[in-house]
Amino acid sequence: MNHAILSLVTFLPAAGAVVLMLMPRNDHVLRWTALITSIVTFLFSLDIVRLFDYSERGFQSNMDINVPWILHVIHYHLGVDGISMWLVLLTTLLVPVSVLVSWKSIHDRVKEFFVLLLLLETAMIGVFLALDMFLFYVFWEATLIPMALLIGMYGHERRVYAAVKFFLYTMVASVFMLAAIIWLYTHTHSFDYATVRQWIADGNANGGSTLQWLFLGFFIAFAVKVPLFPLHTWLPDAHVEAPTAGSVLLAGVLLKMGTYGLLRFNVGMFPAQAAANAQWINVLAVIGIIYGALVALVQPNLKKLIAYSSVSHLGFVVLGIFTLTQIGTDGAVYQMLNHGISTGALFMLAGMIYERKHTYEFKEYGGLATPMPVYATFFLFAVLSSVGLPLLNGFVGEFLVLSGTFQSPLPHSMLFSILGASGVIWGACYLLWMYQKVFYGQIHHAENKGLADIDRRERVSLVPLVVMAIIMGVVSPFWMKSIDPSVGNTIPKAAVAKTKACPGQCAPAAEASVLHKISATLAGEKQ
């Protein structure tokens, strides 16, 4: 049973999708079936937590499943560690919520919608659990279709452009990853993550330039998904046009697939390259943080603003991962979960107002706190969680990321940390600006006066996220005790040590000299 749990969680939604496909088109029944399927999946996924063995730093051997699939080299290999476990749970949590939020907003082609949603869930879970690179790629690509269809079929005016852009961007990028995977296979004759990782660690790859290319192959695929500046332009379009559930899952889970990949593959498999490339990647991450925030600041459209805020937030995650420090990476993983919760909630809230107003433009809003106080309160929670208010989840991640960056031995990381920390200012700027635009002031549009506040179903769908935001903000060790060892198992030790050893570039030394300079100057003044 233990060995089946991962497969069960992965394929239960797909099974549900098949059942849905065969059911008659009774929308109500379909909705309930989808909801029940996703909730049952969530409950099963809780069992993973129950079975989790905290004494094991790497992948959990008690849940591991590894059977030959194609030609004895491609395996059906699922495994979970402290990093992927929570991402799976995030997925299984967000899907029922997405089902709820689509309850009424989807009234046309309901069956297709839920089928796609559940298929998407299977693919997403699979991405996090797959330990065979071929299988990983299969799931990775499998997320594309349902998502693109969700955007394209149920989206808004420019949905087709957005769907195609999303699809092509990610498709083109993941091709490079496929090339890298195949290359690795042809040299290692294995797709197994651990095997290949060991092969590289043993120094079997001849020459750093090959590894550099492989690193880049994986990196491009993940960077687009994250999305890292300057590969982010698909995101605003996709988000704005996507239906609410699509946005929630896109921001909540799909983007995490990118950062998860960066951590698992780019850092986990190519530690030396990760250290060598961390510089410019961190530059991009920091640009992403600031750039995303600044562009978010001037968006006239609610969803676009949230989309750009994702660019900014995911910049933190990437920054944390490529500090290659325990603290920074812990924070990054935690931030992945946080972002899923808070941005997921924001998109749901945006969807609820869209259902009432059929627009995301700020100029159509204003003063909504008066007719919709409960809604405004939920929104405030999501905003604060996103802003990174202490005791809510966002803070823990951001703090750890920045703190880790600050202490990273990589060169210039202090500067990155300081620039990244300016993100806390930008975050407040655009989110409060948004909140004010939507909720404060007088009501300018007469029809807004009569807007109905959110109903019971909508509250039910929001409550889990709000509760999670608080719990994760207060008792983060509950998560950290499993994340921390797994991160320690993933991030390189040798690579960082190596960087540390390099003369002249070593950060503490550089920083020491800076401080020394300051003190010398000040001393000179004094004398």
Partner 1 sequence: MNPIQTVDYIRILPELVLGAFGIIVMMADAVLKPGQSRKSLGLISLVGACAGIAATFCQIAWMHRDPSFTDPGWFGMVRVDNFAIFFHLLIPAISAICILASLEYLDAQNIRSGEYYALILFGTVGMVLMSSAIELVLIFIALEISSISTYVLAGYRRRNASSSESSIKYFLLGSFATAFFLYGVALMFGATGSTSIPEIRAALAAGSPNLLAIAATALMIVGLGFKVASAPFHIWTPDVYEGAPAPIVALMSTGPKAAAFAVLLRVLFATTQTEWFWLIWVSAALSMTLGNFGALVQNNVKRMLAYSSIAHAGYLLVAFAAGGDTGKSAAIFYTAAYAAMNVGAFAVVSHFAAGGERYVSLDDYAGLGRRSPLLAFTLTIFLLSLIGIPGTAGFFAKYYVFQAAFTGHSGALIALGIIGLINSAVASYYYLRLIVLMYMREPVMAETPASATAAMRLALVLAAIATIYLGVVPNRVLNSSQAGAQDLDFTNPGKIVYHIGQPVAPATPER
Partner 2 sequence: MNQNLNLWVIPLLPLIGAAINGLFGRRFKNAVVSTVALLFTAASFVWALRAVWTAWPGGGISLPYIESHGTWITAGSFSAPFGFYLDQLSMIMVLVVTGVGFLIHVYSVGYMAHEGGFYRFFTYLNLFMFFMLTLVLANNYLLMFVGWEGVGLASYLLIGFFFQKDSAANAGKKAFIINRIGDFGFLIGMFLIIQHFGSLNYADVFGKIASGHYAPELGWGLFTAIGLCLLFGATGKSAQVPLYVWLPDAMEGPTPVSALIHAATMVTAGIYMIARSHAIFNLAPHALEIVAIIGCLTAIFAATMGITQTDIKRVLAYSTISQLGYMVLACGVAAYAAGIFHLMTHAFFKALLFLGAGSVIHAIGGEQDMRRMGGLRTKIPITFWVMTAATFAIAGFPPFAGFFSKDEILGATFHSRFGGPVLWVIGVITAGLTSFYMFRLWFMTFFGEYKPGAVDEGEEAHAASAPAHAAHTTASHSHGHADDEAHGHGHVHESPWIMLAPLVILAVLSVVGGWVGIPQFMSGGQNHFEHFLAPVMESGPPTSTQAAVPVTGNDTISTHAGPPSEENAGQEWLLAGTSVAAAVIGLFFAWLLYFKRRDLPGRIATKIHGIYLLVLHKYYIDEGYGAIFVKPLLALSTVVFWHGVDQGIIDGLVNGAGSTSKGIGNELRRMQSGNIRSYAAWVAVGGAAVVAIMIWLGVGR
- Using the rule CB under 8 A, which residue among 82, 152, 340, 464 binds partner 1? 152
Q: CA distances (Å), 110 to each of 105, 201, 462, in order?
A: 10, 49, 22
For 337, half-sphere exposure in the C-beta direction (CA atoms, 13 angstrom radius) is 31
Helix (H) or strand (E) holding 69: strand 65-70
Binding window for partner 1 (CB under 8 A); candidates: 148-156, 242-250, 340-348, 478-486: 148-156
User: 65 φ, ψ to 5°?
Assistant: -130, 130
Q: To 10 degrees, the CA torsion angle through 297, 349, 40, 476?
A: 50
Give the footprint of partner 2 on residues 486-505 (CB under 8 A). 488
Q: Is 199 in the site for partner 1 (CB under 8 A)?
A: no
Q: Is 371 in the site for partner 2 (CB under 8 A)?
A: no
User: Are 276 and 310 a contacting pair, CB within 8 Å?
Assistant: no
Smaller CB separation from partner 2, 4 or 172: 172
Smaller CB separation from partner 1, 50 or 72: 72
Q: Which of partner 1, partner 2, none lies near 66, with the C-beta cut-off 5 to 8 A by kind?
A: none
Nearest of 77, 13, 16, 80 to residue 48 by alpha carbon:
80
- Using the rule CB under 8 A, which residue among 369, 382, 466, 495 binds partner 2? 369
Smaller CB separation from partner 1, 139 or 399: 139
Q: Is 62 in the site for partner 2 (CB under 8 A)?
A: no
Q: Is 18 in the site for partner 1 (CB under 8 A)?
A: no
Smaller CB separation from partner 2, 76 or 161: 161
- Using the rule CB under 8 A, which residue among 139, 199, 219, 479 binds partner 1? 139
Q: CA distances (Å), 463 to each of 41, 342, 360, 434, in order?
A: 19, 12, 23, 22
Helix (H) or strand (E) holding 432: helix 413-439
* Stretch 90-129: interaction string toward partner 2, x if CB under 8 A: ----------------------------------------
Binding window for partner 2 (CB under 8 A); candidates: 192-200, 212-220, 365-373, 449-457: 365-373
Instruction: Show the tokens assigned to 346.
Output: 């924001």
Q: Is 442 in the site for partner 2 (CB under 8 A)?
A: yes
Smaller CB separation from partner 1, 175 or 429: 175
Q: What is the nearest approach in angstroms of partner 2 to the Cβ of residue 356?
A: 20
Q: Which of partner 1, partner 2, none lies near 497, with the C-beta cut-off 5 to 8 A by kind?
A: none
Q: Is 8 in the site for partner 1 (CB under 8 A)?
A: no
User: b/e for 259-296, b at 16 or more Cβ within 10 A?
Assistant: bbbbbbbbbbbbbbbbbbbbbebbbbbbbbbbbbbebb
What is the rounded CA–CA span in Å between residue 401 and residue 413?
11
Instruction: Show the tokens assigned to 453.
Output: 């506040």
- Using the rule CB under 8 A, which residue among 148, 480, 495, 496 binds partner 2? 480
Instruction: Show the tokens assigned to 70.
Output: 């194609």
Q: CA distances (Å), 336 to each of 194, 339, 373, 392, 418, in order?
A: 23, 5, 29, 14, 21
Smaller CB separation from partner 1, 179 or 471: 179
Count of other CB atoms within 10 angstroms of residue 363: 11
Smaller CB separation from partner 2, 138 or 389: 389
Q: Which of partner 1, partner 2, none lies near 208, with the C-beta cut-off 5 to 8 A by kind?
A: none
Smaller CB separation from partner 2, 351 or 404: 404
Q: Is 171 in the site for partner 1 (CB under 8 A)?
A: yes
Q: Is 527 in the site for partner 2 (CB under 8 A)?
A: yes
* Three-state DSSP class for residue 238: helix
Nearest of 422, 178, 192 to residue 286 by alpha carbon:
422
Q: Before 503, cis peptide (omega within 30)?
A: no
Helix (H) or strand (E) holding 219: helix 208-225
Q: Is 67 in the site for partner 1 (CB under 8 A)?
A: no
Count of other CB atoms within 10 angstroms of residue 502: 12
Give the footprint of partner 2 on residues 285-344 (CB under 8 A). 291, 294-295, 297-299, 325-327, 330-331
Smaller CB separation from partner 2, 150 or 414: 414
Q: Is 163 in the site for partner 1 (CB under 8 A)?
A: yes
Query: Which conformational region is residue 516 in: left (phi greater than 0), alpha (psi within -120 to 50 degrees), or beta?
Result: alpha
Residues that bind partner 2 (CB under 8 A): 165, 168-169, 230, 232-233, 236, 291, 294-295, 297-299, 325-327, 330-331, 367, 369-370, 373, 384, 389-391, 395-396, 399-400, 402-404, 406-407, 417-418, 421-422, 424-425, 428-429, 432-433, 436, 439-442, 474-477, 480-481, 484, 488, 512, 515-519, 522-523, 526-527
Residues that bind partner 1 (CB under 8 A): 70-73, 109, 112, 134, 137-142, 144-145, 148-149, 152-153, 159-160, 163-164, 167-168, 171-172, 175-176, 178-179, 182-183, 185-187, 189
